[in-house]
Structure 1
Amino acid sequence: MSSTQKKAVVLFGHGARDPQWAEPMKRLQSILIGQLPNVQVELAFLELMAPSLPDTVDCMAQGGVTHIQVVPIFFGRGGHLKNDFPVIMAELKARHPGLNIEATSAVGQWDAVWQAIANEIVQQV
């Protein structure tokens, strides 16, 4: 990736009525900001909280970001990931054709996440 490209990560979660629900995502955002000093790291939500993923991507595009990696912070692969998320991503790609926007699999599909959780549980037993 050339030095003229500006990278960003969007941590994309469901959202909730209780603002404290987002605290773990904010903690992850803070960790990533420390580990990726040249990468913009933002939060976005599907519903009940702001900003939305489209609002976040629009803002990043206006700010000169050229590459966005969306990371769905979902454990189960339910209807939102199967149905809603692909539609949102397709709309964003159509709206920003010059922007390289990709998505990882949901964190709940990562073996390393489940192994880390299992390791923590073993330490508690």
Structure 2
Amino acid sequence: MNKHTALILFAHGARDPRWAAPFQRLQKMTQESLPDCAVELAFLEFMTPSLPELVSDMVAKGIQKITVSPIFLGQGGHVLRDLPILIEQLNVTYPDLDMQLATAVGEQESVLLAIRDYCVSLA
């Protein structure tokens, strides 16, 4: 990745700001692993920035490629319905932007194995 590339960790959001703490830690850890890529958090609702706000800011800063990673355990309604609409609207607004949408993080085998290992360690 390069300085014109960004990774957006997209989460639901909540009214209680404490809810965002693990996502903020994930963002920081990911940014440390990708020093040449902008890694930011965006939220569907209740928290800022929203995905459209963040993408607008990134485009203004010269970002040319964005990957959106839904930090959801599954492909539920928000990931299957709401997020594709947001991505489609952003593609219309920024036709020169290369925007990719990843699958929900919880759909990845390695993530499920990590959660399983944690749960097994509790037994």
TM-score tier after normalising by the smaller chain length: over 0.9
For structure 2, the residue ranges without an aligned partner over 5 or more in a row are none
The offset of 1:124, in angstroms, is 2.6
Name the structure 1 match of 2:119: 121
The TM-score, its normalising length taken from structure 2, stands at: 0.95
Identity of aligned residues (%): 44
The code of the aligned residue for 1:104 comes to A
Name the structure 2 match of 1:93: 91
TM-superposition CA deviations, 1:19-55 (whole Å, max 9, x none): 0111111011110111000000110000011110000
The offset of 1:122, in angstroms, is 2.0
Runs of 4+ deviating beyond 3 Å = none
Aligned mates of 1:99, 1:22 — CA distance in 2: 28
For structure 1, the residue ranges without an aligned partner over 5 or more in a row are none
After TM superposition, the structure 1 = structure 2 runs for residues 53-92 of structure 1, keeping only pairs within 5 Å, are: 53-92=51-90
TM-superposition CA deviations, 1:36-90 (whole Å, max 9, x none): 0000011000001111000000000000001101000111222111111110000
Aligned mates of 1:124, 1:82 — CA distance in 2: 32
**RMSD of Structure 2 on Structure 1 (CA):** 1.3
Counterpart selection for 1:20 from 18, 22, 25: 18
Aligned mates of 2:33, 2:5 — CA distance in 1: 14
The TM-score, its normalising length taken from structure 1, stands at: 0.93
Counterpart selection for 1:102 from 100, 103, 111: 100
The code of the aligned residue for 1:51 comes to P
Name the structure 2 match of 1:47: 45
The code of the aligned residue for 2:69 comes to V
Aligned mates of 1:113, 1:70 — CA distance in 2: 17
The offset of 1:111, in angstroms, is 1.0
Name the structure 2 match of 1:36: 34
